[in-house]
Structure 1
Amino acid sequence: MSKKAPLYLATACALAAAIFTSSCGRGDSDTTTIKVAGSDTMLQVGLSWGDAYKKATPGVAVSVAGEGSSTGFVALIDNTADLSHSSRAIKPSEAEAIKNKHGKEAVEHIVGYDGIAVFVHKDNPVKSISLPKLKEIWAEGGSVANWNEIGGSDAEIQRAGRANNSGTYGFFQKAVLGKGVEFKPNTAGMAGSSAVVEFCSTTPSAIGYSGMSYKNEHVGWLLISADEDSEAFEPTIENVKSKNYPIARPLYIYTVGEPTGAVKAYLDWIKGEAGQAVVAEQGFVPYQ
Protein backbone atom coordinates (compact mmCIF):
# COMPACT_ATOMS: atom_id res chain seq x y z
CA MET A 1 0.00 0.00 0.00
CA SER A 2 1.29 3.49 -0.79
CA LYS A 3 2.30 5.84 1.96
CA LYS A 4 -0.36 8.33 2.99
CA ALA A 5 0.35 10.96 5.59
CA PRO A 6 -1.21 14.33 6.48
CA LEU A 7 1.40 17.03 6.32
CA TYR A 8 1.50 20.27 8.28
CA LEU A 9 3.28 23.51 7.40
CA ALA A 10 3.90 27.14 8.29
CA THR A 11 3.85 29.73 5.46
CA ALA A 12 1.90 30.26 2.29
CA CYS A 13 3.70 29.72 -1.00
CA ALA A 14 3.57 32.34 -3.71
CA LEU A 15 0.85 31.97 -6.28
CA ALA A 16 1.81 31.52 -9.92
CA ALA A 17 -0.17 31.75 -13.12
CA ALA A 18 -3.01 29.25 -13.22
CA ILE A 19 -2.48 26.32 -15.53
CA PHE A 20 -6.13 25.35 -15.75
CA THR A 21 -9.45 27.14 -15.57
CA SER A 22 -11.39 24.77 -13.34
CA SER A 23 -10.95 21.60 -11.31
CA CYS A 24 -12.36 18.08 -11.90
CA GLY A 25 -15.34 18.96 -14.04
CA ARG A 26 -17.02 18.07 -17.27
CA GLY A 27 -15.50 19.24 -20.53
CA ASP A 28 -18.86 18.38 -22.10
CA SER A 29 -22.03 16.72 -20.87
CA ASP A 30 -20.60 13.22 -21.30
CA THR A 31 -16.97 13.55 -20.17
CA THR A 32 -15.48 14.07 -16.71
CA THR A 33 -12.02 15.64 -16.88
CA ILE A 34 -9.47 15.02 -14.12
CA LYS A 35 -6.87 17.78 -14.07
CA VAL A 36 -3.26 17.10 -13.13
CA ALA A 37 -0.32 19.49 -12.76
CA GLY A 38 3.25 19.33 -11.50
CA SER A 39 6.45 17.43 -12.13
CA ASP A 40 8.22 17.54 -15.50
CA THR A 41 9.93 14.27 -14.56
CA MET A 42 6.51 12.62 -14.29
CA LEU A 43 5.03 14.25 -17.41
CA GLN A 44 5.48 11.28 -19.75
CA VAL A 45 4.26 8.71 -17.25
CA GLY A 46 1.35 11.03 -16.46
CA LEU A 47 0.39 11.32 -20.12
CA SER A 48 0.66 7.55 -20.50
CA TRP A 49 -1.50 6.98 -17.41
CA GLY A 50 -4.08 9.38 -18.81
CA ASP A 51 -4.18 7.75 -22.24
CA ALA A 52 -4.47 4.24 -20.82
CA TYR A 53 -7.13 5.25 -18.29
CA LYS A 54 -9.22 7.00 -20.94
CA LYS A 55 -9.24 3.79 -22.99
CA ALA A 56 -10.16 1.72 -19.95
CA THR A 57 -12.75 4.15 -18.57
CA PRO A 58 -15.10 5.69 -21.14
CA GLY A 59 -16.43 9.07 -20.12
CA VAL A 60 -13.31 10.12 -18.20
CA ALA A 61 -10.45 12.20 -19.62
CA VAL A 62 -7.21 13.22 -17.91
CA SER A 63 -5.54 16.58 -18.62
CA VAL A 64 -1.84 16.68 -17.65
CA ALA A 65 0.60 19.61 -17.40
CA GLY A 66 4.24 19.17 -16.36
CA GLU A 67 6.01 22.45 -15.64
CA GLY A 68 7.71 21.49 -12.38
CA SER A 69 6.72 20.09 -9.00
CA SER A 70 6.19 23.53 -7.47
CA THR A 71 3.58 24.43 -10.09
CA GLY A 72 1.52 21.41 -9.09
CA PHE A 73 1.25 22.58 -5.50
CA VAL A 74 0.26 26.06 -6.68
CA ALA A 75 -2.47 24.44 -8.78
CA LEU A 76 -3.77 22.52 -5.74
CA ILE A 77 -3.83 25.73 -3.72
CA ASP A 78 -5.64 27.58 -6.53
CA ASN A 79 -8.07 24.68 -7.03
CA THR A 80 -7.07 24.41 -10.70
CA ALA A 81 -5.91 20.79 -10.42
CA ASP A 82 -7.26 17.68 -8.76
CA LEU A 83 -3.91 15.91 -8.46
CA SER A 84 -0.34 17.17 -8.17
CA HIS A 85 2.55 15.10 -9.51
CA SER A 86 5.77 15.71 -7.59
CA SER A 87 9.30 14.34 -7.70
CA ARG A 88 9.94 15.69 -4.19
CA ALA A 89 8.12 15.75 -0.89
CA ILE A 90 5.83 18.69 -0.26
CA LYS A 91 7.39 21.68 1.52
CA PRO A 92 5.99 22.87 4.86
CA SER A 93 4.96 26.20 3.30
CA GLU A 94 3.02 24.44 0.53
CA ALA A 95 1.19 22.11 2.90
CA GLU A 96 0.26 25.00 5.19
CA ALA A 97 -1.04 27.03 2.24
CA ILE A 98 -3.24 24.11 1.17
CA LYS A 99 -4.60 23.73 4.72
CA ASN A 100 -5.25 27.47 5.03
CA LYS A 101 -7.01 27.70 1.66
CA HIS A 102 -9.10 24.54 1.73
CA GLY A 103 -9.36 23.55 5.39
CA LYS A 104 -7.95 20.13 4.49
CA GLU A 105 -4.50 18.66 4.72
CA ALA A 106 -2.40 17.58 1.76
CA VAL A 107 -2.36 13.80 1.44
CA GLU A 108 0.70 12.07 0.03
CA HIS A 109 0.57 9.00 -2.21
CA ILE A 110 3.78 7.26 -3.32
CA VAL A 111 3.25 5.84 -6.82
CA GLY A 112 6.77 4.78 -7.88
CA TYR A 113 10.50 5.37 -7.57
CA ASP A 114 13.05 7.06 -9.81
CA GLY A 115 16.82 7.17 -10.07
CA ILE A 116 18.46 10.51 -10.84
CA ALA A 117 20.96 9.87 -13.62
CA VAL A 118 24.10 11.91 -14.18
CA PHE A 119 24.33 12.42 -17.93
CA VAL A 120 27.46 13.12 -20.00
CA HIS A 121 28.37 13.12 -23.68
CA LYS A 122 28.46 9.56 -25.00
CA ASP A 123 32.16 9.92 -25.96
CA ASN A 124 33.26 11.13 -22.52
CA PRO A 125 36.03 8.77 -21.29
CA VAL A 126 34.89 9.15 -17.66
CA LYS A 127 32.48 6.30 -16.94
CA SER A 128 31.97 6.41 -13.17
CA ILE A 129 32.18 8.84 -10.27
CA SER A 130 31.61 8.96 -6.51
CA LEU A 131 29.11 11.14 -4.70
CA PRO A 132 31.90 13.17 -3.03
CA LYS A 133 33.44 13.93 -6.44
CA LEU A 134 30.03 14.88 -7.82
CA LYS A 135 29.68 17.37 -4.99
CA GLU A 136 33.04 18.91 -5.89
CA ILE A 137 31.77 19.39 -9.46
CA TRP A 138 28.39 20.87 -8.57
CA ALA A 139 28.64 22.60 -5.19
CA GLU A 140 29.58 26.23 -4.77
CA GLY A 141 33.25 26.30 -3.77
CA GLY A 142 33.80 22.77 -5.12
CA SER A 143 37.32 21.92 -6.24
CA VAL A 144 36.66 20.10 -9.53
CA ALA A 145 36.25 22.31 -12.62
CA ASN A 146 38.01 20.38 -15.41
CA TRP A 147 37.44 16.83 -16.64
CA ASN A 148 41.19 16.14 -16.49
CA GLU A 149 41.00 16.35 -12.69
CA ILE A 150 38.95 13.13 -12.62
CA GLY A 151 40.52 11.17 -15.46
CA GLY A 152 38.93 12.86 -18.46
CA SER A 153 40.01 15.18 -21.24
CA ASP A 154 41.39 18.67 -20.70
CA ALA A 155 38.08 20.54 -20.92
CA GLU A 156 36.17 22.79 -18.56
CA ILE A 157 33.12 21.01 -17.15
CA GLN A 158 29.86 22.58 -18.34
CA ARG A 159 27.06 21.93 -15.86
CA ALA A 160 23.41 21.64 -16.90
CA GLY A 161 20.86 21.39 -14.11
CA ARG A 162 17.16 22.11 -13.66
CA ALA A 163 15.32 25.30 -12.82
CA ASN A 164 14.75 25.89 -9.11
CA ASN A 165 11.00 25.20 -9.35
CA SER A 166 11.86 21.60 -10.21
CA GLY A 167 11.60 18.80 -7.69
CA THR A 168 14.61 17.20 -9.37
CA TYR A 169 16.65 20.35 -8.65
CA GLY A 170 15.74 20.22 -4.97
CA PHE A 171 16.33 16.51 -4.59
CA PHE A 172 19.72 16.55 -6.33
CA GLN A 173 20.77 19.55 -4.26
CA LYS A 174 19.90 17.76 -1.02
CA ALA A 175 21.21 14.31 -2.00
CA VAL A 176 24.48 15.35 -3.63
CA LEU A 177 25.41 18.84 -2.42
CA GLY A 178 24.00 18.60 1.10
CA LYS A 179 21.52 20.68 3.06
CA GLY A 180 22.00 24.41 2.61
CA VAL A 181 24.74 24.09 -0.01
CA GLU A 182 24.19 26.08 -3.21
CA PHE A 183 25.05 25.15 -6.77
CA LYS A 184 28.10 26.71 -8.40
CA PRO A 185 27.44 29.98 -10.22
CA ASN A 186 26.98 29.65 -13.99
CA THR A 187 25.21 26.32 -13.68
CA ALA A 188 22.63 26.31 -16.47
CA GLY A 189 19.06 25.88 -15.22
CA MET A 190 17.23 23.99 -17.96
CA ALA A 191 13.45 24.20 -18.32
CA GLY A 192 12.94 20.44 -18.54
CA SER A 193 14.55 17.02 -18.37
CA SER A 194 14.69 16.64 -22.16
CA ALA A 195 16.66 19.89 -22.42
CA VAL A 196 19.28 18.56 -19.98
CA VAL A 197 19.70 15.36 -21.99
CA GLU A 198 19.84 17.27 -25.29
CA PHE A 199 22.56 19.57 -23.93
CA CYS A 200 24.65 16.63 -22.74
CA SER A 201 24.23 14.77 -26.03
CA THR A 202 25.53 17.71 -28.07
CA THR A 203 28.17 19.19 -25.73
CA PRO A 204 31.35 17.09 -25.31
CA SER A 205 32.29 18.63 -21.94
CA ALA A 206 28.78 18.67 -20.45
CA ILE A 207 27.43 17.06 -17.31
CA GLY A 208 23.78 17.14 -16.27
CA TYR A 209 21.24 15.43 -14.04
CA SER A 210 17.70 14.26 -14.66
CA GLY A 211 15.39 11.29 -14.23
CA MET A 212 16.83 8.05 -15.57
CA SER A 213 13.83 7.47 -17.82
CA TYR A 214 15.08 10.25 -20.13
CA LYS A 215 18.11 8.22 -21.24
CA ASN A 216 18.43 7.68 -25.00
CA GLU A 217 21.03 6.33 -27.43
CA HIS A 218 22.51 9.79 -28.05
CA VAL A 219 23.77 10.41 -24.51
CA GLY A 220 25.90 8.63 -21.91
CA TRP A 221 25.54 8.43 -18.15
CA LEU A 222 27.89 7.78 -15.24
CA LEU A 223 27.89 4.88 -12.82
CA ILE A 224 27.69 6.29 -9.28
CA SER A 225 29.28 5.05 -6.06
CA ALA A 226 28.46 6.17 -2.54
CA ASP A 227 32.15 6.89 -1.84
CA GLU A 228 35.60 6.32 -3.30
CA ASP A 229 35.84 2.79 -1.87
CA SER A 230 32.39 1.53 -2.90
CA GLU A 231 31.20 -0.18 -6.06
CA ALA A 232 29.65 2.11 -8.67
CA PHE A 233 26.21 1.29 -10.03
CA GLU A 234 24.28 2.21 -13.16
CA PRO A 235 20.87 3.92 -12.71
CA THR A 236 18.70 0.98 -13.72
CA ILE A 237 15.34 -0.26 -12.46
CA GLU A 238 17.06 -3.21 -10.79
CA ASN A 239 19.66 -1.04 -9.03
CA VAL A 240 17.08 1.47 -7.82
CA LYS A 241 14.84 -1.32 -6.56
CA SER A 242 17.74 -2.96 -4.69
CA LYS A 243 18.86 0.46 -3.34
CA ASN A 244 22.34 -0.09 -4.77
CA TYR A 245 22.08 3.08 -6.85
CA PRO A 246 22.67 5.95 -4.39
CA ILE A 247 20.64 8.77 -5.99
CA ALA A 248 17.04 7.57 -5.93
CA ARG A 249 13.75 9.00 -4.70
CA PRO A 250 10.02 8.34 -4.46
CA LEU A 251 7.57 9.74 -6.99
CA TYR A 252 4.49 11.30 -5.40
CA ILE A 253 0.94 12.29 -6.14
CA TYR A 254 -0.71 14.77 -3.74
CA THR A 255 -4.38 15.46 -3.18
CA VAL A 256 -6.27 17.98 -1.06
CA GLY A 257 -7.69 15.67 1.58
CA GLU A 258 -8.54 12.06 0.84
CA PRO A 259 -9.63 11.71 -2.80
CA THR A 260 -13.22 10.82 -3.65
CA GLY A 261 -15.28 9.99 -6.71
CA ALA A 262 -13.59 10.02 -10.11
CA VAL A 263 -10.29 11.23 -8.66
CA LYS A 264 -10.16 8.35 -6.16
CA ALA A 265 -11.00 5.84 -8.89
CA TYR A 266 -8.17 7.18 -11.07
CA LEU A 267 -5.65 7.17 -8.23
CA ASP A 268 -6.65 3.62 -7.28
CA TRP A 269 -6.09 2.61 -10.91
CA ILE A 270 -2.62 4.21 -10.92
CA LYS A 271 -1.68 2.24 -7.80
CA GLY A 272 -3.14 -0.96 -9.22
CA GLU A 273 -1.69 -3.47 -11.66
CA ALA A 274 -2.46 -1.54 -14.86
CA GLY A 275 -1.13 1.79 -13.59
CA GLN A 276 2.02 0.25 -12.16
CA ALA A 277 2.66 -1.52 -15.47
CA VAL A 278 2.76 1.95 -17.05
CA VAL A 279 5.29 3.03 -14.39
CA ALA A 280 7.60 0.19 -15.43
CA GLU A 281 7.06 0.81 -19.16
CA GLN A 282 8.16 4.42 -18.68
CA GLY A 283 11.46 3.40 -17.05
CA PHE A 284 10.51 3.97 -13.42
CA VAL A 285 10.28 1.49 -10.55
CA PRO A 286 6.80 0.39 -9.39
CA TYR A 287 6.11 1.32 -5.78
CA GLN A 288 5.10 -2.17 -4.62
Structure 2
Amino acid sequence: MKKILSLLVILSIGLFSCGKGSQKGIEVKGSDTLLELVQEMGEVYIKKSGIAVNVSGGGSGVGVAGIVNNNTDIGDASRQIKDKEIKKAKENGIEPLEVKLGIDAIAIVVNPSNTINQLTTDQLAAIYKGEVKNWKEVGGPDVEISLYGRQENSGTYAFFQEHILKANYSDKMKRMNGNAQMFEGVKADIGGIGYQGLGYVMNEDGSFKPGVKVLAVVGKSGRAVLPSDKSAVLSGEYAISRFLYQYVNKNMTQTVKDFVLFELSPEGQAIVKKTGFYPLDERAKELNPELFK
Protein backbone atom coordinates (compact mmCIF):
# COMPACT_ATOMS: atom_id res chain seq x y z
CA MET A 1 0.00 0.00 0.00
CA LYS A 2 2.83 2.37 0.91
CA LYS A 3 4.49 1.65 -2.44
CA ILE A 4 1.24 2.52 -4.28
CA LEU A 5 0.86 5.81 -2.34
CA SER A 6 4.49 6.72 -3.02
CA LEU A 7 3.97 6.07 -6.74
CA LEU A 8 0.85 8.30 -6.80
CA VAL A 9 2.74 11.15 -5.13
CA ILE A 10 5.58 10.87 -7.64
CA LEU A 11 3.11 10.94 -10.54
CA SER A 12 1.34 13.97 -9.08
CA ILE A 13 4.59 15.88 -8.65
CA GLY A 14 5.55 15.02 -12.24
CA LEU A 15 2.23 16.30 -13.61
CA PHE A 16 2.33 19.58 -11.73
CA SER A 17 5.99 20.25 -12.47
CA CYS A 18 5.61 19.98 -16.26
CA GLY A 19 5.93 23.17 -18.29
CA LYS A 20 3.32 25.02 -20.38
CA GLY A 21 2.94 22.05 -22.69
CA SER A 22 0.98 20.24 -19.97
CA GLN A 23 -1.65 22.96 -19.77
CA LYS A 24 -5.07 22.25 -21.17
CA GLY A 25 -5.10 22.91 -24.90
CA ILE A 26 -7.31 25.56 -26.49
CA GLU A 27 -10.32 24.21 -28.39
CA VAL A 28 -11.39 26.04 -31.56
CA LYS A 29 -14.17 24.95 -33.91
CA GLY A 30 -16.38 26.36 -36.62
CA SER A 31 -15.99 28.12 -39.95
CA ASP A 32 -14.41 26.17 -42.78
CA THR A 33 -13.28 29.49 -44.29
CA LEU A 34 -11.11 30.17 -41.23
CA LEU A 35 -9.93 26.57 -40.81
CA GLU A 36 -6.54 26.73 -42.53
CA LEU A 37 -5.83 30.22 -41.18
CA VAL A 38 -6.44 29.30 -37.53
CA GLN A 39 -4.67 25.94 -37.90
CA GLU A 40 -1.56 27.81 -39.03
CA MET A 41 -1.96 30.27 -36.15
CA GLY A 42 -2.07 27.30 -33.79
CA GLU A 43 1.04 25.68 -35.29
CA VAL A 44 3.03 28.88 -34.75
CA TYR A 45 1.58 29.47 -31.28
CA ILE A 46 2.46 26.06 -29.82
CA LYS A 47 6.10 26.69 -30.74
CA LYS A 48 5.99 30.01 -28.88
CA SER A 49 3.98 28.98 -25.84
CA GLY A 50 3.91 25.20 -25.61
CA ILE A 51 0.11 25.36 -25.57
CA ALA A 52 -1.72 23.24 -28.13
CA VAL A 53 -4.51 24.79 -30.18
CA ASN A 54 -6.90 22.14 -31.46
CA VAL A 55 -8.78 23.43 -34.51
CA SER A 56 -11.69 21.75 -36.29
CA GLY A 57 -14.24 22.88 -38.89
CA GLY A 58 -17.90 22.06 -39.37
CA GLY A 59 -19.17 25.50 -40.38
CA SER A 60 -19.87 28.81 -38.68
CA GLY A 61 -23.05 27.40 -37.14
CA VAL A 62 -20.95 24.80 -35.32
CA GLY A 63 -18.56 27.46 -34.03
CA VAL A 64 -21.28 29.76 -32.76
CA ALA A 65 -23.17 26.84 -31.18
CA GLY A 66 -19.95 25.81 -29.45
CA ILE A 67 -19.77 29.17 -27.68
CA VAL A 68 -23.51 29.33 -27.00
CA ASN A 69 -23.44 25.88 -25.38
CA ASN A 70 -20.07 26.38 -23.69
CA ASN A 71 -18.37 23.40 -25.35
CA THR A 72 -15.52 25.21 -27.10
CA ASP A 73 -13.10 27.98 -26.14
CA ILE A 74 -13.28 29.82 -29.46
CA GLY A 75 -15.95 29.68 -32.15
CA ASP A 76 -14.82 30.59 -35.67
CA ALA A 77 -17.46 32.25 -37.87
CA SER A 78 -17.61 33.94 -41.25
CA ARG A 79 -20.88 35.58 -40.23
CA GLN A 80 -21.99 37.56 -37.20
CA ILE A 81 -23.71 35.89 -34.29
CA LYS A 82 -27.51 36.28 -34.35
CA ASP A 83 -29.60 37.95 -31.64
CA LYS A 84 -31.37 34.67 -30.83
CA GLU A 85 -27.97 32.99 -30.40
CA ILE A 86 -26.80 35.72 -28.03
CA LYS A 87 -30.01 35.32 -26.03
CA LYS A 88 -29.53 31.57 -25.74
CA ALA A 89 -25.89 32.01 -24.73
CA LYS A 90 -26.86 34.37 -21.92
CA GLU A 91 -29.45 31.86 -20.74
CA ASN A 92 -26.56 29.41 -20.51
CA GLY A 93 -24.49 31.86 -18.48
CA ILE A 94 -22.24 32.84 -21.41
CA GLU A 95 -21.51 36.43 -22.46
CA PRO A 96 -20.33 36.16 -26.10
CA LEU A 97 -17.57 38.55 -27.10
CA GLU A 98 -17.01 39.24 -30.79
CA VAL A 99 -13.46 39.27 -32.16
CA LYS A 100 -12.75 40.66 -35.63
CA LEU A 101 -9.79 38.65 -36.92
CA GLY A 102 -9.34 39.70 -40.55
CA ILE A 103 -11.15 40.64 -43.74
CA ASP A 104 -12.36 38.28 -46.45
CA ALA A 105 -13.68 38.85 -49.96
CA ILE A 106 -15.86 36.03 -51.22
CA ALA A 107 -14.45 34.96 -54.57
CA ILE A 108 -16.70 33.91 -57.45
CA VAL A 109 -15.04 31.01 -59.27
CA VAL A 110 -15.78 29.23 -62.55
CA ASN A 111 -14.12 26.52 -64.58
CA PRO A 112 -10.94 27.81 -66.31
CA SER A 113 -12.41 27.01 -69.75
CA ASN A 114 -15.28 29.47 -69.25
CA THR A 115 -14.85 32.63 -71.37
CA ILE A 116 -16.83 34.80 -68.95
CA ASN A 117 -14.69 37.35 -67.03
CA GLN A 118 -17.18 39.25 -64.90
CA LEU A 119 -20.70 39.20 -63.51
CA THR A 120 -22.90 41.82 -61.90
CA THR A 121 -24.39 41.20 -58.48
CA ASP A 122 -27.83 41.00 -60.13
CA GLN A 123 -26.58 38.33 -62.53
CA LEU A 124 -25.10 36.37 -59.62
CA ALA A 125 -28.42 36.49 -57.80
CA ALA A 126 -30.33 35.33 -60.89
CA ILE A 127 -27.87 32.48 -61.45
CA TYR A 128 -28.06 31.19 -57.88
CA LYS A 129 -31.84 31.52 -57.74
CA GLY A 130 -32.01 29.34 -60.85
CA GLU A 131 -33.48 32.06 -63.09
CA VAL A 132 -30.45 32.04 -65.41
CA LYS A 133 -29.62 28.49 -66.46
CA ASN A 134 -27.15 28.80 -69.35
CA TRP A 135 -23.90 30.75 -69.53
CA LYS A 136 -24.88 32.24 -72.90
CA GLU A 137 -27.59 34.27 -71.10
CA VAL A 138 -24.85 36.33 -69.38
CA GLY A 139 -22.39 36.54 -72.26
CA GLY A 140 -20.64 33.21 -71.82
CA PRO A 141 -20.54 29.94 -73.79
CA ASP A 142 -23.58 27.83 -74.65
CA VAL A 143 -23.14 25.59 -71.60
CA GLU A 144 -25.61 24.74 -68.85
CA ILE A 145 -24.74 26.39 -65.53
CA SER A 146 -23.84 23.99 -62.73
CA LEU A 147 -24.28 25.55 -59.27
CA TYR A 148 -21.94 24.86 -56.37
CA GLY A 149 -22.64 26.24 -52.91
CA ARG A 150 -22.25 25.43 -49.23
CA GLN A 151 -24.30 23.70 -46.55
CA GLU A 152 -26.79 25.70 -44.45
CA ASN A 153 -24.51 25.65 -41.40
CA SER A 154 -21.92 27.64 -43.38
CA GLY A 155 -21.49 31.33 -42.66
CA THR A 156 -20.53 31.85 -46.31
CA TYR A 157 -23.83 30.26 -47.38
CA ALA A 158 -25.73 32.65 -45.11
CA PHE A 159 -23.71 35.76 -46.05
CA PHE A 160 -24.01 35.17 -49.80
CA GLN A 161 -27.74 34.52 -49.49
CA GLU A 162 -28.35 37.63 -47.38
CA HIS A 163 -26.20 40.04 -49.40
CA ILE A 164 -26.54 38.74 -52.97
CA LEU A 165 -29.57 36.49 -53.44
CA LYS A 166 -31.95 38.02 -50.87
CA ALA A 167 -34.03 34.93 -51.64
CA ASN A 168 -33.76 31.14 -51.55
CA TYR A 169 -31.08 29.23 -53.41
CA SER A 170 -32.02 27.08 -56.39
CA ASP A 171 -32.82 23.54 -55.33
CA LYS A 172 -30.39 22.38 -58.02
CA MET A 173 -27.38 23.82 -56.19
CA LYS A 174 -24.86 21.20 -55.11
CA ARG A 175 -24.15 21.74 -51.41
CA MET A 176 -20.47 21.24 -50.67
CA ASN A 177 -19.05 20.44 -47.23
CA GLY A 178 -16.20 22.92 -47.51
CA ASN A 179 -14.14 25.30 -49.64
CA ALA A 180 -11.71 22.62 -50.81
CA GLN A 181 -14.55 20.38 -52.03
CA MET A 182 -16.14 23.30 -53.89
CA PHE A 183 -12.82 24.22 -55.50
CA GLU A 184 -12.34 20.68 -56.81
CA GLY A 185 -15.95 20.48 -58.01
CA VAL A 186 -15.78 23.66 -60.09
CA LYS A 187 -12.31 22.73 -61.36
CA ALA A 188 -13.71 19.52 -62.85
CA ASP A 189 -17.06 20.89 -64.11
CA ILE A 190 -17.06 22.88 -67.37
CA GLY A 191 -20.31 24.65 -66.41
CA GLY A 192 -19.44 25.08 -62.75
CA ILE A 193 -19.69 28.24 -60.63
CA GLY A 194 -18.96 28.54 -56.92
CA TYR A 195 -18.34 31.06 -54.16
CA GLN A 196 -15.63 30.70 -51.53
CA GLY A 197 -13.36 32.41 -49.05
CA LEU A 198 -10.52 34.33 -50.69
CA GLY A 199 -7.82 32.45 -48.81
CA TYR A 200 -8.64 29.29 -50.75
CA VAL A 201 -7.99 30.89 -54.15
CA MET A 202 -5.49 33.74 -53.58
CA ASN A 203 -1.79 33.53 -52.75
CA GLU A 204 0.02 35.90 -50.39
CA ASP A 205 1.33 37.93 -53.35
CA GLY A 206 -2.19 38.56 -54.68
CA SER A 207 -1.99 36.04 -57.54
CA PHE A 208 -4.68 33.38 -57.92
CA LYS A 209 -4.15 29.67 -57.46
CA PRO A 210 -4.44 27.52 -60.61
CA GLY A 211 -7.43 25.24 -61.09
CA VAL A 212 -10.31 27.70 -61.17
CA LYS A 213 -10.93 31.12 -62.73
CA VAL A 214 -11.80 34.02 -60.42
CA LEU A 215 -14.35 36.47 -61.83
CA ALA A 216 -14.57 40.21 -61.35
CA VAL A 217 -17.82 41.42 -59.74
CA VAL A 218 -19.65 44.55 -60.84
CA GLY A 219 -21.32 46.26 -57.90
CA LYS A 220 -23.05 49.60 -57.30
CA SER A 221 -20.04 51.59 -58.55
CA GLY A 222 -20.44 50.02 -61.99
CA ARG A 223 -16.78 48.97 -62.03
CA ALA A 224 -15.70 45.35 -62.46
CA VAL A 225 -13.57 44.52 -59.42
CA LEU A 226 -11.54 41.45 -58.55
CA PRO A 227 -11.31 40.31 -54.91
CA SER A 228 -7.52 40.71 -55.18
CA ASP A 229 -8.04 44.51 -55.36
CA LYS A 230 -7.22 45.33 -51.74
CA SER A 231 -8.36 48.96 -51.83
CA ALA A 232 -11.71 47.97 -53.35
CA VAL A 233 -12.24 45.29 -50.71
CA LEU A 234 -11.30 47.52 -47.78
CA SER A 235 -13.46 50.39 -49.04
CA GLY A 236 -16.45 48.12 -49.58
CA GLU A 237 -16.52 48.68 -53.34
CA TYR A 238 -16.04 44.95 -53.85
CA ALA A 239 -19.60 43.86 -53.20
CA ILE A 240 -18.98 40.62 -51.31
CA SER A 241 -16.47 41.52 -48.59
CA ARG A 242 -16.85 40.82 -44.86
CA PHE A 243 -15.03 40.50 -41.56
CA LEU A 244 -13.86 37.11 -40.32
CA TYR A 245 -15.01 36.57 -36.74
CA GLN A 246 -14.22 34.59 -33.66
CA TYR A 247 -16.50 34.38 -30.64
CA VAL A 248 -15.30 33.77 -27.10
CA ASN A 249 -16.80 33.90 -23.64
CA LYS A 250 -16.21 37.38 -22.22
CA ASN A 251 -15.05 35.58 -19.07
CA MET A 252 -12.48 33.53 -20.99
CA THR A 253 -9.38 32.17 -19.31
CA GLN A 254 -6.11 34.07 -19.60
CA THR A 255 -4.78 31.19 -21.71
CA VAL A 256 -7.49 31.75 -24.32
CA LYS A 257 -7.10 35.53 -24.21
CA ASP A 258 -3.35 35.28 -24.75
CA PHE A 259 -3.91 33.24 -27.91
CA VAL A 260 -6.50 35.70 -29.26
CA LEU A 261 -4.12 38.59 -28.59
CA PHE A 262 -1.42 36.68 -30.46
CA GLU A 263 -3.79 36.36 -33.45
CA LEU A 264 -4.27 40.14 -33.43
CA SER A 265 -0.57 40.91 -32.99
CA PRO A 266 1.64 41.85 -35.97
CA GLU A 267 2.90 38.24 -36.07
CA GLY A 268 -0.62 36.84 -36.11
CA GLN A 269 -1.83 39.33 -38.70
CA ALA A 270 1.10 38.37 -40.93
CA ILE A 271 -0.39 34.85 -40.95
CA VAL A 272 -3.76 36.31 -41.99
CA LYS A 273 -2.03 37.82 -45.02
CA LYS A 274 0.03 34.69 -45.69
CA THR A 275 -3.12 32.55 -45.92
CA GLY A 276 -4.72 34.82 -48.52
CA PHE A 277 -6.92 37.13 -46.45
CA TYR A 278 -6.59 40.82 -45.64
CA PRO A 279 -5.08 41.67 -42.22
CA LEU A 280 -6.44 44.27 -39.84
CA ASP A 281 -2.90 45.48 -39.02
CA GLU A 282 -3.00 48.69 -36.97
CA ARG A 283 -6.82 48.61 -36.84
CA ALA A 284 -6.80 45.43 -34.73
CA LYS A 285 -6.98 47.33 -31.43
CA GLU A 286 -9.54 49.83 -32.71
CA LEU A 287 -11.84 47.06 -33.94
CA ASN A 288 -11.48 44.94 -30.78
CA PRO A 289 -11.45 47.45 -27.90
CA GLU A 290 -12.76 44.99 -25.26
CA LEU A 291 -9.66 42.85 -25.60
CA PHE A 292 -7.23 45.70 -25.10
CA LYS A 293 -8.69 47.28 -21.98
Contact 2:21-2:52 within 8 A present in 1 as well: no
Is the aligned partner of 1:62 residue 2:53? yes
1:237 deviates by: 5.7
Match of 2:95 among 105, 113, 116: 105
**Paired residue for 1:263?**
256
Report the equivalent of 2:216.
223
Structure 1 residue 93: deviation in Å? 2.1
1:71 is aligned to 62
The answer to whether structure 1 residue 207 and structure 2 residue 198 are counterparts is no
TM-score norm. by structure 2 comes to: 0.83
What's 1:236 paired with? Answer: 228
**Matched residue SS, 2:106:** strand
Q: Residues 5-64 of structure 1, C-alpha deviation per residue, up to 9 Å, x if partnerless?
A: xxxxxxxxxxxxxxxxxxxxx9x9823300001100000001001001111112x11000
Give 1:16's aligned residue.
none
Aligned residue in 2 for 1:12: none
Measured on the aligned residues, the alpha-carbon RMSD in Å equals 1.7
Task: Measure how far apart 1:214 and its partner are.
Answer: 1.0
Decide which of 82, 85, 91 is 2:76's aligned counterpart. 85
SS of residue paired to 1:99? helix
Distance 1:81 1:119 in 2: 33
Q: Tell me if structure 1 keeps the 8 A contact 2:67–2:96.
A: no
Distance 1:29 1:149 in 2: 59
Residues 234-283 of structure 1 show CA distances to partners (whole Å, capped at 9, x for unaligned) of 11161322433111000001012243310111111111111111101011
Task: Say if 2:219 and 2:237, in contact at 8 Å, map to a contact too.
Answer: no
The 5-angstrom pairing of residues 140-159 of structure 1 reads 142-159=130-147
Local SS of the residue matching 1:114: strand
TM-score, normalising length from structure 1?
0.85
Residues of 2 paired with 1:258 and 1:117: CA distance?
36
What residue number does 2:9 align with? Answer: none
Q: What percent of counterpart residues are identical?
A: 34
SS at match of 2:58: coil
Which ranges in structure 1 are unaligned for 5 or more consecutive residues?
A: 1-25
Report the equivalent of 1:94.
Answer: 85
Aligned counterpart for 1:137 among listed residues 127, 131, 134: 127
1:196 aligns with 2:182: yes
| Corresponding position of 1:168 | 156
Distance 1:270 1:214 in 2: 19
CA contact under 8 A between 2:136 and 2:142: conserved in structure 1?
yes
Displacement over 4 Å in runs of 4+: none
For the residues of structure 2 that align with 1:237 and 1:285, how far apart are their CA atoms?
10
- What is the CA distance between 1:78 and its match in structure 2? 3.2
Long gaps (5+) in structure 2: 1-17, 202-208, 284-293
Please report how far the alpha carbon of residue 144 of structure 1 lies from its aligned counterpart in structure 2 after TM superposition.
1.2
Higher helix share: 2
SS of 2:89's partner is helix
* Maintained 8 Å contact 2:68/2:96: no
